[in-house]
A and B are shown apart, each in its own frame.
Chain A
Amino acid sequence: MATEVKEGQDIRKMVRTLVQNHGDEKAELIPILHEINRELGYISDEAIKELSKKMNLPSSHIYSVATFYRMLSTEPRGRHVIQFCESAPCHVTGGRLVWQKLQRELGLEKGETSQDDKWTLLTTSCLGLCGVGPVMVIDNDIYGNVTPEQVPGILENYE
């Protein structure tokens, strides 16, 4: 998901281009943060500082917004981000066993990133795919009707 780490100069340039394209109105903040998050894998301090200058917003405001929303991260994430749906329909169709298997396979707890930076394990709010629960998303790939036995095979698909 995340591309290689960018240098400070590149980050500043990216932020400037984004503000140019979106405009500097406050309403554009969340769309811009989305793009930074997609580009870097997370929203770095460097990016917040530059954004603060270009949008004329206090960095505290930007930070407060970036930390409020679950899909924006201010921490670096692994190369592959696993999002497991933790909502009720997936829970009652056996999601808990899949979640336990995932944690065991990866040796990670919720919210953690593996030491080799390969995986970040997250839970997500309902993805609206409840007809095929339990559901998990790895990067942009969606897996439905997941059973604990399928977990190792699914993880093997990722480098």
Chain B
Amino acid sequence: MAYFRSHVLVSVDPVCVEKGAYELIETLQDELVKQGLVEEVQVLETSRIGDPETEGLDLMVYPEAVHYTKLTLDDVPFLVEEQFLKGRIAEQYIRETKRVIDEELSAPKTKEVRIVLKNIGEIDPLNIEDYIARDGYMALGKVLTEMTPEETIQEVLDSGLRGRGGAGFPTGLKWRFIRNAVGEQKYMLCNADEGDPGAFANRRVLEGDPHSVVEGMIIAAYAVGASQGYIYCRAEYPIAVRTMKIAIEQARNFGLLGDNILGSGFSFDLEVRMGAGAFVCGEETALMASIEGHRGEPRPRPPFPAQKGLWEQPSNINNVETYSNVPQIILNGAEWFANLGYNKSTGTKTFSMAGDVKNTGLIEVPFGITLREIIYDVGGGIKEDKKFKAVQTGGPMGGCLPEKLLDLHMDYEALAEAGSILGSGGLVVMDEDTCMVDIARFFMEFTQDESCGKCTPCRIGTRRILEILTRICEGKGKPDDIDTLRYLCDQINENSLCGLGKGAPNPVKSTLEHFLDEYEAHIYEKRCPAKVCKSLIRFEIIEGLCTGCTLCARNCPVDAISGERRQTHVIDPDICIKCGICEQLCQYDAIEIK
């Protein structure tokens, strides 16, 4: 095999080809021949390396990892001479280009371990070869040629991998149920209906590393004996839908999907199905109803999807992140995976951090990390160095955890015990300016809206809770409201049909437990300690600070502010709608919320 001391990578994606990438390669080759370097330097074609909108061509030189940009063909002879003959970096071609900052996913911070996110931002998701170059589809090859379905299941079972959609059911065990189930046709389903507000890890995996999901699904299909699969992706993610469709097409062209995969005799095909905007479709039985062309309403279980799922056939349903972990487990072994993590939760978990934390975005950490480490070490602490108040984990069905629980080791069991859930890994951090009653009301508005209406506890119960919470926020709370809320929470949790209803009371229950004083302040003192609830606050202008600049009076939408120029102004509380515009505009901090 030829040995080259340097490699030149030239991007040949459609945009670069349009800009003359092949002419660049030809000129490079000619110049290397001319300068007698052709046996030392190899020119390789690759997918996108730079910003496609930058003018001119670009290339990368390895092992130095130098990125030359805005090149023309005339620059090539000098560049080759400097870089390869004289071994100097041609500084003048390293130019400032527009850097696209990824606000959602930055370089891994300390304490992060990336398995699911390892390829994202590193490879071109629209090019299967990029994935293959990073050991992609090697796990599939290993499974199809060296492992029986039963061995594959055992490996996943030994790894301790549990469902990343939030329920945490052991993946290998689920696969075994389906393998043993009797049915003419078995289906492999991927739940890509990531609807939890604040969670976007699945979207980034689908958009950034689609083949890891496809490969995971093929391996799972082989293990359980399924021949058809569906990826159910929510319609709010159009780019993910498009990326997955392209990935599936490419895998098919490479013989990785379809009949007789890699000559193994095993056949499996995959399709993308799109939702249409219904949160409840993330529930597995509702998801299957939606694929079949029905309203996405859940049905009672049993029978479980493993026995009677899609079109009444045994169906395996796992989350995007779960599938994406599978190839890595096969490649690196169950033991490697099981050694990461904590207690009965092995491996890593992605979290989407949002809210009042400095570094928002996606992270991947091993199970067992504490909430404090996540918020302060990885997240950089609270914005504007305000005080931490609560963190809401697991989306709208999760609970709000206070300061005293920040040293909790994150795993499925610990969170459940604390009255919250891991869910899909949403983390909404809230600072001292957040009103916990308002937050509970807010989440209840969401579940009330998304309740499909099929079962009464969820449909009516969430509405009653919402009414009470709204009343409390309006300053009309009654002394027995707290007891009524507790009663409703228990009833809804016990009697609802699916996870949406069962989890719906969690935000209320957890805030009642950890922030009862705020409820009491609203109900008994008619006071909102965080100064959020409009009916319980009033805006006042502080004499001495007000310069009488009239800015607030001119911008008040209801003309509630009066006063002479250079005199202290006054807000009429009867007219004021508490929109807060005056407070935002005032340059002298003269407006106070009481």
Contacts and interface: CB of A to CB of B under 8 A. Distances in A.
Interface string A24-41: 011111110110000000
A31 to B, nearest CB: 7
B388 interface: no
Nearest to B102: A131
Nearest to B291: A27
A115 interface: no
Contacts of A27: 273, 291-293
Nearest to B392: A88
A10 to B, nearest CB: 23
Nearest to B105: A131
Interface stretch (A1-9, A11-19, A91-99, A150-158): A91-99
Contacts of A128: 194, 199-200, 203, 236-237
A119 B295 CA distance: 28
B278 A69 contact: yes
Interface in B60-103: 103
Q: Which of B352, B355, B579 has the most CB of A within 10 A?
A: B355
Interface stretch (B30-38, B246-254, B442-450): B442-450
The range of chain A's interface size is 35 or more
B301 interface: no
Given A87-B446, A88-B396, A131 B361 contact: yes
B198 interface: yes
B580 interface: yes
A129 interface: yes
Interface string B170-198: 00000000000000000000000011111
Nearest to B278: A69
Interface string B291-302: 111111100000
A30 B430 contact: no
Interface residues of B, number: 51
Nearest to B361: A131
A2 to B, nearest CB: 17
Contacts of A88: 197-198, 354-355, 392, 396, 428, 439, 442-443, 446
Contacts of A29: 293
Contact of A34 (B104, B235, B279, B396): B235
Interface in A18-62: 25-31, 33-34
Nearest to A124: B236
A92 B197 contact: no
Contacts of A97: 580, 584
Is the contact region of chain B dominated by helix, strand, or loop, or is it mixed?
loop
B101 to A, nearest CB: 11
B290 interface: yes
Contact of A64 (B197, B295, B434): B295
Q: Which of A88, A133, A144 has the most CB of B within 10 A?
A: A88
B103 A132 contact: yes
A63 B73 CA distance: 61
B354 A133 contact: yes
B195 A126 contact: yes
B274 interface: yes
A130 B293 contact: no
B235 A89 contact: no
Contacts of B194: 128
B292 A130 contact: no
B316 interface: no
Given A33-B276, A69-B296, A125-B236, A130 B557 contact: no
Nearest to A66: B276
B293 A28 contact: yes
B104 A100 contact: no
A130 B198 CA distance: 6
B355 A125 contact: no
A24 B102 CA distance: 43
A91 B442 contact: yes
Contact of B355 (A34, A86, A93): A93
A71 B197 contact: no
Given A129-B200, A131-B360, A69 B292 contact: no
A128 B442 CA distance: 18
Interface in B510-542: none
Interface of A: 25-31, 33-34, 64-65, 68-72, 86-93, 97, 100, 104, 124-133, 144, 148
16 contacts: A26-B293, A28-B293, A29-B293, A30-B274, A30-B290, A87-B446, A89-B428, A92-B355, A97-B580, A128-B200, A130-B426, A131-B103, A131-B104, A132-B103, A133-B354, A144-B103
Q: 8 tightest CB-CB pairs across the interface, nearest first?
A: A87-B197, A69-B276, A70-B277, A71-B277, A89-B354, A128-B200, A126-B197, A26-B293
